[in-house]
Copies of this chain bind each other. A is one copy, B any other.
Amino acid sequence: MADQKKKSSSAEVRSDAAAGAGNEPRVSLWERLENPPPAPRTVLTPDRIAEVAVGVADAEGIEAVTMRRLATELGVAPMAAYRYVAGKDDLLELMVDRVYGELTAPEAGAGWRATLRTLATSTRDIVLRHPWLVQLPTARAAISLTPNRLAAAEWGMAALSELDLPPDEMMVAVDTVGAYVQGRTASEVATLRLMAVQGAADGHALRTHLAPEMTYLMGTGRYPAFRTYIGTARRKDDARWQFETALDCVLDGLATRLGI
């Protein structure tokens, strides 16, 4: 079966991209990666491409990741990478899978709650290290079923399978935590980015920069509760505390509703 793939690996990439609604048997991107062609003159590899792309994205943001920039960084012509990725979508998918590989496997046998909590905080760490992860410009990369991403779901499900929950509720539990983490980290990253863009060093500096908008909006008198929050809150800038407190709320909720 290895022969089948070797025979037309470059054509494979093209057809995969062009397929769309077509119906001929496709070959998974991940399958291709596991059976690479003999690669005689290997200068470029999907791994190297992804590595460089992640590096650029980490250093200068996802918008700095252009096919041309990648080519320059790899010391190669602008179109060279297209032999290995069908398009930018494919590239983003590779990047996502690569950084999800940084997830630390939760220790087996730690109850469901500890496992889900570890997965959540570990995912947050990854997002803080690679903020572009929650700013993917295409929808496909955001939902993509990559091996390492699926592994995260698997760990969660495995931890829950010891309790005899109906499968649908198991998935709800995993998805709830996942959705919370995704949403929370996304807004956390957005704040950090806004700070960077405005040149604000911390939350206080950012609020100073946003003063015109804020004072105008507060001046309308439409937001009294919000206003008193701003005046009296003390942990406005403690993102970690906020993240973990809310996470514990979510976990409490699972415990309560799923009867654990």
> Chain A interface (Cβ within 8 Å of chain B)?
20-21, 25-31, 135, 137, 139-140, 142-143, 145, 147, 150-151, 153-154, 157-158, 160-161, 167-173, 175-176, 178-184, 186-187, 189-191, 193-194, 197-199, 210, 212-214, 216-217, 220, 222-226, 228-229, 232-236, 242, 245-246, 248-258
Contact = CB atoms under 8 A, between A and B. Distances in A.
B176 A212 contact: no
Given A31-B216, A180-B179, A217-B30, A226 B157 contact: yes
A64 B196 CA distance: 29
Contact of A176 (B151, B167, B250): B250
Copies in the complex: 2
A240 to B, nearest CB: 12
Given A179-B246, A182-B183, A223 B154 contact: yes
Contact of A135 (B31, B139, B217, B226): B139
Contacts of A225: 154, 157-158, 160-161
Nearest to A170: B229
Contacts of A242: 168, 171-172, 175
Contacts of A187: 142-143, 175, 178-179, 182
Contact of A256 (B25, B153, B176, B256): B256
